[in-house]
Amino acid sequence: MNFNKIVKEILGSILSLCEFTLNNESRGVIEYEHKLLLISITYDFTRSFELDVNFYFKANNESYSLAELKEYFDKEKNRFIATQILEDDKLKAWVVEVKMFLENHLYELIKDHVVICFELDSMRKQKTDFYNNERDERLFKEDVEKLWNNKDYVRLIKLVKNYKGNIDDISKKKYEYAIKKVS
């Protein structure tokens, strides 16, 4: 796949128009730099075949993915969908989509970069908290259930005592029962 060639052909002109210069290039990674931003287009060509665009803001030294920016600008909720492509035609279509996104938002991205990276950061914090809390709660319940089924009350007590998140009613009842059984 001619990833580097296709990306440069399709995105080179718009990025150059907005004063980005080709900063770095290696197989599967093309990086364009602006005084305020770095945009890298990546292709994991030896493993997952995932494509992404990373927007690195110099103002806060943070990088956000295309999915996060699409969520911010277009309210698209596709954070968990990875784009995996093997064929040149599909790659071209994807890069054209990226080009359209840049045509619609790059100017604003540069002009309001401080506000945008602040809001992206806050959005990421919110999403990250939700993701981590949801995972912790789900796995905690699974672990309680497993120990309960194994009648491993000592470990169940220890698990519940050490857990820092919200404990659901069923887990609480199992915990109370386990204490009675052990004492």
Partner 1 sequence: MSIVGALGGYLKHFQFKSAVFNSSRYLAKCKDCAAMFPGVSGTWLDPVYINGQRTLATGAVQPSYFFEELVLGNGIGKLASGIVGMIKRVGFAAKGSTQGGLNLFKFGKPTTTTANSWRAGDRMLHLPNKGTPKLNWKQNSGFLRQEMSRGKPIFDSYLSPNGQQIPTGGFLNAERFLLESRGWRFNSATGAYHPPF
Q: Is 103 in the site for partner 1 (CB under 8 A)?
A: no
Considering only residues 10, 14, 18, 29, which one is a binding residue for partner 1 as defined by CB under 8 A? Answer: 29
Does the CA dihedral 108-112-113-116 come out positive or negative?
Answer: negative
Instruction: Please give the structure tokens belonging to residue 73.
Output: 């600008």
CB of residue 19 vs partner 1: minimum separation in angstroms?
A: 22
Task: Write the binding mask 136 to 155 for partner 1: x where contact by CB under 8 A, - elsewhere.
Answer: ---x---x--x--------x
Q: Is 56 in the site for partner 1 (CB under 8 A)?
A: yes
Q: Is 90 in the site for partner 1 (CB under 8 A)?
A: no
Considering only residues 35, 80, 87, 149, which one is a binding residue for partner 1 as defined by CB under 8 A? Answer: 80
CB of residue 135 vs partner 1: minimum separation in angstroms?
A: 7
CB of residue 5 vs partner 1: minimum separation in angstroms?
A: 18
Q: Is 92 in the site for partner 1 (CB under 8 A)?
A: no
Q: Locate the DSSP E strands across 21-61.
A: 21-26, 29-33, 37-43, 50-57
* Among the listed residues 41, 34, 40, 3, the one whose alpha carbon sits nearest the alpha carbon of residue 17: 34
Question: Which ranges constitute the DSSP H helices of the chain?
Answer: 3-17, 66-74, 88-111, 113-149, 153-162, 169-182
CB of residue 150 vs partner 1: minimum separation in angstroms?
A: 12
> What does the angle CA 55 – CA 86 – CA 70 come to, to the nearest 5 degrees?
30
Q: Is 4 in the site for partner 1 (CB under 8 A)?
A: no
Give residues with Cβ within 8 angstroms of 47, minimum separation 6. none
Is the Cβ of residue 135 or residue 173 nearer to partner 1 in the bound state?
135
**Cα 174 to Cα 171: distance, rounded to the nearest angstrom:** 5
Give residues with Cβ within 8 angstroms of 33, minimum separation 6. 20, 21, 23, 24, 39
- By CB under 8 A, name the binding residues for partner 1: 28-29, 40, 42, 44-50, 52, 54, 56, 63, 65, 67, 79-82, 84, 86, 124-125, 127-129, 131-132, 135, 139, 143, 146, 155, 159
